[in-house]
Amino acid sequence: MEFPKDKFSEWYQEVLEQAEVVDNRYPVKGCLVWRPFGFKLRSLIAGYLRQLMEATGHEETLFPALIPEDALKKEEEHVEGFKAEVYWITHGGDTPLDVKLALRPTSETAIYPMFSLWIRSHADMPLRVFQIVNTFRYETKHTRPLIRLREITTFKEAHCAFPDNASAEAQMDLINKAYSEFWDELGIPFLIVKRPEWDKFPGADYTISFDTIMPSGKTLQIATSHNLGTNFSKTFNISFEDKDGNQSRPYITCHGISDRAISSVIAIHGDNRGLVLPPRFAPVQIVIVPIIFRDREEDVISTTRKIHEKLKTKYRVVLDDTNDTPGNKFYKWELKGVPVRIEIGPKDVDSNAVTVVRRDNLHKESIPLDDLVERLDNIIEDITASMKEKARNEFESRLITVSSKEELSAWDGKPVVVKAPVCGDESCAREVEGILNKEFRGTELKKQGKGSCVICGKPARYMGVWSNAY
């Protein structure tokens, strides 16, 4: 059975279920179950993210999931932005609670009251913490597994405080670099976009977003980074004594990545046979399949076991010695995106070699046993590089740059993302929205627009980005 990826929406749901990543049949809308195979993939990706956060000076913490109503409602813009999405706990058993409790939609209002107790002097900063937790948002838009959840199961949120604006700006740069490294390692191409005023995080001074392009041609916001300025430190009364002995407000930033990291890996690299996983994050990196003929069963099995023992010390390997047919085994492990398959049959045993098949391009070759480990290292490296290149080429093919108003209308309703130079006025960005029937996502970070604004003809200051988005 094949999974035609050109029908992306069906492909995505089907592959998630068939490859046993998640089970979406749980009877609460927007909630799902991680199955063991999917959970391993999730742990490998989250583990790498944790490692990156720690390497850049962020310390892991864990805050409660419950937020008292008065804390949640303190920051006006923030509460307005999340009002329709909050789940409330009103009772303990039959007893109404004195103070209603919110299930965190995100943790600013859980964390910053504690920051006000922890931050006393400039020496208490920089303060950089993060947690990887579940958060709850009563999403009213169409829910989709891992893409739009009501229980976001893998919410990496970092919250940081600094004594001055320059340090908060440096943090925004640090996160841009760390997140870029993260997406590069996953082989997910992205644009970094500064969101327009009307689309920033509730309570933020400004929002930076990482957007990738899904096979449907729609963008997916895969990470955000918010400079909250001193808005939240005023609301939560966080203050410190600066170097000159004056009371001052810290500058706060926060940065988030969710289950969408896993969804983008699945969506962008997968093909008609199912998942194609980057070797670094594949729960199974190599599967060994013995090809057994009746009169040669013993020597094939013993060779297979020896190779398994040897490879086990270096890779995540499965020896599939179940009674299933080789064909069924190939199908199963291809669907699960295992980067390398090793087939061992009597001919291989006789020639002291194995047959190695790559998942990404299905290329097959015979490799002498003596060279196996070294060659596998090269093959895995090459798979990683080719997967990145393929994803990059597809991304580029869905990203159209135009330089004049006349060119815009050709892309109305097409499944692509459009970039165009703009002056920076909202009215021009909105007019392009009308022509393209796509939303204005914002302006590319640190990229100056070339030439003149496609609408008003004034000198372009930015490169605008328009797309349909998840």
If you count them, how many residues does the chain have?
470
Chain position carrying tokens 């009002």: 83
Q: How far is the CB of 153 from ligand PR8 (least distance, A)?
A: 9
The minimum distance between CB 223 and ligand PR8, in angstroms, equals 6
C-alpha dist (Å) from residue 148 to 211, 333, 366, 391: 15, 28, 44, 22
From the list 361, 407, 362, 415, the residue with the least C-alpha distance to 386 is: 361
Q: 158 or 460, CB closer to ligand PR8?
A: 158
Nearest distance from C-beta of residue 280 to ligand PR8, angstroms: 21
Helix (H) or strand (E) holding 355: strand 353-358
Q: In what order do the strands lie in the sheet with 87-92?
A: 66-68, 95-103, 87-92
User: Minimal distance in Å, beta carbon 29 to ligand PR8?
Assistant: 12
Beta-bridge partners for 440: 466
| Tokens representing residue 332 in the block | 């199963």
Name the amino acid, one letter, at 199. Answer: D
Helices 8-18 and 260-269: crossing angle in degrees, nearest 10, is 110
In the complex, the residues that contact ligand PR8 under the rule CB under 6 A are 106, 108, 137, 139, 148-149, 152, 157, 201, 221-224, 226, 254-256, 258-260
Q: How far is the CB of 64 from ligand PR8 (least distance, A)?
A: 15
Q: Which pair of structure tokens corresponds to residue 462?
A: 């930015």
C-alpha distances in Å from residue 193, one per residue of 190, 210, 219: 9, 6, 12
Tell me the closest approach of the beta carbon of residue 141 to ligand PR8, in angstroms.
Answer: 9
Beta carbon of residue 24, minimum distance to ligand PR8 (angstroms, whole number) = 13
Strand-pair partners of 214: none
- When the beta carbons of 83 and 306 are compared against ligand PR8, the nearer one is 83
Cβ proximity to ligand PR8: between 259 and 320 the closer is: 259
CB of 260 to ligand PR8, least distance (A): 5
Cβ-based nearer residue to ligand PR8, 221 or 304? 221
Q: How far is the CB of 136 from ligand PR8 (least distance, A)?
A: 9
Of 25 and 141, which CB lies nearer to ligand PR8 in the complex structure? 141
The Cα 323–Cα 336 span in angstroms is 19
CB 250 within 8 A of CB 163: yes
Decide whether 262 or 422 has the Cβ nearer to ligand PR8. Answer: 262
Q: Cβ closer to ligand PR8: 140 or 378?
A: 140
Close Cβ partners of 43 (under 8 Å, ≥ 6 residues apart): none
Cβ–Cβ contacts within 10 Å for residue 160, how many? 26
The residue among 222 and 436 lying less far from ligand PR8, judged by its C-beta, is 222
216 or 224: whose CB is closer to ligand PR8?
A: 224
Q: Do residues 38 and 30 lie in contact, with contact meaning Cβ atoms separated by under 8 Å?
A: no
Residue 393 neighbours by CB distance under 10 Å: 11
SS3 labels along 147-190: CECCEEEEEEEEEEEECCHHHHHHHHHHHHHHHHHHHHHHCCCC
